[in-house]
Structure formats: structure tokens, C-alpha cells
Structure 1
Amino acid sequence: MNELHDPAEFRTRLRGWLDANDLTPPDDHSLAAQMRQFARVQRALYDADWSRYGWPEHAGGLGGPDMLRAIVGEEVVGRRLAEPGPYSMLEVLAPTMIDYASPELAAEMVPKLLSGEEQWCQGFSEPGSGSDLASLSTRATPRGDQWVINGQKVWTSFAQYSHRAILLTRTGDPGTPNHQAITAFFVDVDTPGISVRPLHTMHGVDEFCEVYFDDVVVDGSRMLGKPGDGWQLAMDLLPYERSTCFWQRIAYLYARFDALVAAAKRQGAAVDQDLGAVYLALHTLRCRSRATQHRLAAGHRLGPDTSIDKVLLAGAEQLLYDTARDLLPGVVELEDDPWRTEYLYSRAATIYGGTAEVQRNIIARRLLDLGKE
């Protein structure tokens, strides 16, 4: 066994490498700078092989348990070398390509994402299909060996910086049941007919985009899986979103918690009870996420139980930033400060990735068997 496949040894050596290699981000908080920094970090990690561990060899990786990927993400995001948003696309979309693309396409494309050469995005949500993903209307129509795509996506993170997109479309006859009529494609964002328009949100960062598809021609070899596999692809994506991606975001929230403690001390605030509640929420979330991460590593199939992780994450994130607003008077309301941007973004924690209401309904109906009412 490769000794670097042991998580403890892997973490120790990775920390030593990160200590010895300066990947400090520039003093530029713009989204464009964050994306450049993410690509820079990924290039360095890939060239040193760290970001190849935990990925299968047939897709350009070096093998080893999936847990190694979580360790890399935790160390990189926890040190604030890269932001969790761009990093999440890596962990969600690369496994999807490995599982659903042809072996040849996965072997060609996945290393481009792992190395920071490319950025990808996820075209799922639509203006009329948010939580009800099965009702999406973007349509792919067959034309010989190709497909022609028309429709619109929205809330597509980082589309303006992306080279490729994993896209869900509607295929099949009009009478086909919704879940069986969804097909996924791997689309080049510079294909003629694709238009990207960033959305300016209240937190002042144009992370989300509208993406329009007007007679976009995609080769049939870019289909992921078979016609009708799109719904299962979306369901298989969730375990990665709510395990390794959450683990990275938790590391980020802990880093911000430490920064809040330091800022509160400088102001001489009496904060024991307030910060204690935040720490308890973060620790509860981390314990739950650790158990989820180990279940995934053991080969267990994750299901509706990950809705618990989502509810805990949203609650902990909002509590952290509510506490920052209370302990740092005026920073959120009056100053152009990262705390302001992050506070505003945290308001969406109970919306993105499945609303809190939907998650609690899933917990009630599918885990507690409480029925529909």
C-alpha cells in the first residue's frame, strides 16, 4: 500500500508541503481574483500530485481513498488559500464525469479540471424549476448523431468563468414521466448559441448567472449516460455535494469563526455565551458531516439523511454571521468589509442546494415517516 494512501500520513505530509510553498492569495477580494487564485492553487497541487490522490487512475488520478480529497479541500479552504465556492464545483462535477461520461471523455477532461486548466459549471436550475428540478423545460431534440438544445438556466455559479457545463435537459416524448425524461450533456460553454449573463445580487458578487441556449448543437458523444439518466445523475451528485463539499465549507466557517473571535477580542466584547453557541453549532455540524464522510468512504449509499447535514449547515452558517453582526457593530451595516459581503451571502444558506422547508419536509416524510401533513 502506498503510505500516502493513509489519511493521517497524507495530512501530515500535505501540511508540510503547504507550509513550505507560499500560495497566499493576493489582497484582491473580487470574484475574478478568487477564480484566478483557485486555478493557481489547483495547478500547484496538481503538479505536486496532491490533488490527484483520491481520484481513480483511469481519470488521471493516483488512487487511494476518497477521504484524501476531503483532506486536501479542508486544508486548502481552511487556510483561506481558495474560496469554498469554486472548490465545490471540482468535488461535485469531477465524480459525475467519472461515473457517467465515457471512459475516454473522462480521461481527457477530468485532469483539466483537477489541474485548474479549466473551470466547469452546473446547469440544473431554471426560472420555473428550482426545488422542483423534475419540471425543468430546457429541451434537447435529436438531429442525427447530434442534439439541439434550447432553453434557459439560472443561478448557474461561475458560468462566466467556465469552459464546460454539465447540463440537464428534457428529452423524450411529451407523455414521458418527468423523472424519466431528463438527459444530461457535457457542453462546451463557447459553443455557438450559448449566452451567459451574470446576475448582480445583494451581496455584490456576480457569482450567479443566467445561461441561454438557442439552437445549441451538441454531439451525441457528449451525452452523460443514456437518454433518461439525467435524474439519476442529479441524485448521485448529491452525496458529493453534501459530504466532501460540506466538509470544505465547514473548514471555511471554522476559519471565519477564529477571525470573529480575534476581532471580538480586539473590541473587548463580552462574548462567551454568543461565541459558545456558534462553536456548538459548528461542532455539531462537523460531527455530523464527519459521520457522513465516513459513510461515503465505506461505500454506503447516501440518501435523504443528508438533508440533516444541509439543515445543520444552513443554521450554523447563519448563526455565525448573525453573531458577527451583533459583536462587530456597524461592520455589516456601514462598512465595505468582507463581513458585510459574507453576512449577506449567508442569508441564502437556507435557499441554495435545496430550501430549508424542502429539507425539513424530506426529513419529516422520508426519515420520520410523518406523512404529508
Structure 2
Amino acid sequence: MDLALTEDDLAFRDEVRAFLDENLSDDLQEASRLTTGPFAEFQYGQRWYEKLASKGWSAPLWPAEYGGPGWTAIQRYIFDIECAAAGAPVPLVMGTRMVGPVLMHFGTPEQKQKYLPRILSGEDVWCQGYSEPGSGSDLASLKTRAVRDGDHYVVNGSKIWTTFAQHANRMFCLVRTSTEGKAQEGISFILIDDFKAPGITVDPIITMAGDHEVNQVFFEDLRVPVENLVGEENKGWTVAKYLLEFERGGDTYSPGLHASIRHLKAVAASEPGGGGEPLIQDPVFARRVAEAEAEIMALEVTEKKVMCEVAEGKTPGAAGSIMKVCGSESLQKTAELTAEAVAYYGAPHQKQARTVGSNVQPIGPDHALTALPRHLNHRAASIYAGSNEIQRNIVAKLVLGL
């Protein structure tokens, strides 16, 4: 694994920095700074996505044959590092990071032609229909049914924790098409084209942070063309596992985590410790920050190794589960330390002050505005994309042979 920057890599880094300087406006940076969840507020994330699309950079993981930039592993990492350092908003990536790679691998030529260009341009906004009430990480127990009726499936059931479903016009969805045999054998992977069609209801779920980020989606006699089946009927478990490898391991945590550590150190340097000295000088707190940073550095090495393997055509495999566990727990740790550093200034609920362009004067220092909401939001990080308990079971089975 050779990750030393070549002259071409340095030139690419300069190109990325120039693009960020030219296109990353003040309001987009503010939207990123005020973000408490994994994705920026939709209107700002989508604006940034469209800027990236105009440059041909909206799908960093895609090969050139499908319209992606065809970057090397180190170029993708440089891009992530520079975006995180500049404070670029994180757009919704359900299309580029999840359903896009699935269509490249399992989709028909017609499906690729129909969907992939619209994902790249941002014309389509996708959401994920996996988790259900009572199922969660146990996808094999899902109960949403799709019954064949001529050239359509009739879908009934419910999905939950559906991120940004209120903005989506399409969904990739796991449904039960058979109740025979093992639970995994009766699942199919379908694409729902018109997310505003009759038969679909989206109910908001407001998080502890006070944000409308997730939803519950209900299907009542929704008709989906059979041609929207991806892969074989009743073989959707294979498709679902392939997607989850990219959801867990196709992204990188460490660039954003390095930015979070820098922010945490700045906050701790400006907040007082128990003796009146800056909190960062408190030996106990400083040790906890150092431990968190060391874990992020270790994660970075794993991510770089996986990126090189993906560049060679391999899938993340069990390494995706390792990265998901380490990344989500580091995310929670840095958020908890930041909330602890701001202390009582994190207590006020200041939703209006967290709006881009707001003239509401925040209570306490600016860096306290998002500390507690971000900490609360990140409690879900060890649950979504498959709980960390599930990830450890995967590692135990596939890596340790237990």
C-alpha cells in the first residue's frame, strides 16, 4: 500500500483546493458548520451536490465508464480531506454510495441507462427502504410484502428511520416476495420510481436534537412495475448485503473525524477547566482527547488499506464492518467530549439559532450551539447501517472464524 503523494496527486490537491475556494460560498460553509446529523440541510447539500456534478465530481467512487471521475484511492482520500478541512457540506449520498454501485453490479442495461445518469446529475434523490418497525438491524425479519399482480408488484407495509424521505423522489426498497424457506430467501430488491404516488405516506420523526431528518414511510397497495426488480426475485438478500458493504465501508470517517478533533481541541482551549485553566490543559481531559485522536489515526490506516483494495476491484467485505464500528464509536466519542467541554452552554434548545442566516443571538459561545444536538444525533451512529453488535458478529464470523 503506497500512499505517498506523487506530483500528480499534489497537482490534484491543488485543483480540489481551487475548486473549493471558487465554489464553497459562505452560506454553504455555515450550513456545514450548523449541521448536527450525517448530512447537511437538504437545500444546501443539494446545491453543493449540483456544483460537484457540474465538475464531474458528484460520485467519487464511480469508475469513468459510468460517468464517475475514475479517481485513484489516494485521490478520493485527498478529496475527502480537503472537503472536510474547508467545511464543505455533506450532501445526501444514497444514490452515489448505495444504489448506484448496486445497479452497476446487478442492474440490467436498461436500469443502468435509466437511473445512473440521473443519480450523477442530482436529478433524482434516493432514500433507503430497509429498516422496519420491529426489524431494525434484523433485516431478515422484514414484513413489507410485495405480491405479484401481472406485470406489477402490489406493496403493503412500512419502513422506518428513512433519512430525508420527505425530499426523495425515489426509493430502493427490500420487500418480502415469498414466505417459503429461510427468511432471507424470500426477500427482493425493488426500485420505487414515483415516491409521491398514491399509496405512499411519509410521516416525520423528530429526533432528540429537534431535527426532521428521518421518517416513517407507509405503503398501501402501491403498484411497482416488475421491471423495477434488481437481480432475481427472492434473491434480494445477496443484493442487500452487497449494498451494505458500500454503506459501511465505501465511505471514509477519518477526514471528518480529524476535523472534529481539531474543533474539539479549539473548544477545549477556550473553555475553562476545573481550576480556571483552559480545559485542554486538564491532564484527564487531555488524555481522553489524545486517546480519541489515536483511535482516529488507527482507523485512517484501515480506511486507506480498504480504499486501495476497492480500487483493485474488490469489495470492502468484513473490513467495512470494522470501519463502521470504529468510525461510529469515534464519532460518538468526539461529539461527547465536545458536549462535555461546553458544559451548561449545551443545555438550551436553540433550533432557530441553528438556521442558516438566522439573526437569533445564540446563548453562549458559537461553538456551543451544535455541541449537544450533534452529540444526541450521533447516538444513532452505532445503530444505523447495521448496529455495531451486528458488525462485531460479522467480524467474528468472517475474520476470526468463530
TM over 0.5: yes
Map Cα deviations across residues 73-120 of structure 1 (whole Å, 9 max, x no partner).
443344332136x23653122212222222232233223222222321
Q: Report the alpha carbon displacement of residue 208 of structure 1 after superposing the two structures with TM.
A: 1.2
> Does structure 2 conserve the Cα–Cα contact (< 8 Å) formed by 1:285 and 1:316?
no
Equivalent residue number for residue 287 of structure 2: 273
Deviates most, 152-161 or 263-272: 263-272
Deviant stretches of 4+, over 6 Å = 30-33
Q: CA deviation at 1:210?
A: 0.5
The 8 Å contact of residues 67 and 297 in structure 1, kept in 2 or not, is answered as no
Q: Structure 1 residue aligned with 2:342, among 325, 328, 336?
A: 328
Does the C-alpha gap of structure 1 residues 75 and 100 become closer, same or farther in structure 2, counting only changes over 3 Å?
farther
Preserved CA contact (<8 Å) 1:304 1:362: yes
Query: CA distance change for structure 1 residues 58 and 143 in 2, over 3 Å: closer, same or farther?
Result: farther
Q: Which runs of 5+ in 1 are unaligned?
A: none
Partner of 1:185: 190
Q: 1:299 aligns with which of 313, 325, 328?
A: 313
Q: Give me the whole-angstrom Cα distance separating, in 2, the residues matched to 1:192 and 1:326.
A: 47
% identical equivalent positions: 32
> How far apart are residue 309 of structure 1 and its match?
1.6
- Once the 2 structures are TM-superposed, how far is the Cα of residue 231 of structure 1 from its aligned partner? 0.6
Q: What's the TM-score, normalizing by structure 2?
A: 0.82
DSSP-derived class of the 2:123 partner: coil
Cα deviation for residue 68 of structure 1 reads 4.8
Structure 1 residues 182-206: Cα deviation after superposition (integer angstroms, max 9, x where no partner): 1111112112201111111212112
Aligned position for 1:364: 396
Structure 2 spans left out of the alignment, 5+ residues: 1-5, 272-277, 351-368
Could you tell me which of 185, 199, 218 is aligned with 2:224?
218
Displacement of 1:180: 1.7
Instruction: Indicate the larger mover: 260-269 or 185-194.
Output: 260-269
| Residues 1:230 and 2:244 aligned together | no
Q: Which residue of 2 aligns with 1:175?
A: 180
Deviates more, 1:41-50 or 1:120-129: 41-50
SS in 1 for 2:232: coil
Q: Which residue of 1 aligns with 2:257?
A: 253
- Quote the offset at 1:314 in angstroms: 2.4
How much has 1:239 moved relative to structure 2? 2.5
Q: Which residue of 2 aligns with 1:87?
A: 93
C-alpha change, 1:215 and 1:113, in structure 2 (3 Å) is same
Change (3 A) 1:281 1:135: same
CA distance in 2, matches of 1:281, 1:328: 23
Name the amino acid aligned to 2:139: L
Matching of residue 129 in structure 1 with residue 131 in structure 2: no
Map 1:5-154; keep pairs closer than 5 Å.
Answer: 9-26=11-28, 27=30, 29=34, 34-51=41-58, 54-57=61-64, 59-65=66-72, 68-69=75-76, 71-83=78-90, 86-87=92-93, 90-154=96-160
**1:66 shift after superposition:** 6.4
Per-residue deviation, residues 264-318 of structure 1 (Å, max 9, x unmatched)? 2223222532321221121122122222222222223432343222221122112
Report deviation, 1:329.
1.8
CA RMSD of aligned residues (A): 2.6
CA-CA distance at 1:259 after TM superposition? 1.5
* Distance across 1 between alignment mates of 2:64 and 2:400: 40
Farther-moved stretch of structure 1 (267-276 vs 225-234): 267-276
CA distance in 1, matches of 2:171, 2:177: 18
- Name the SS for the 2:122 alignment partner: coil
Residues in 2 aligned to 1:17 and 1:47: alpha-carbon distance in whole angstroms: 11
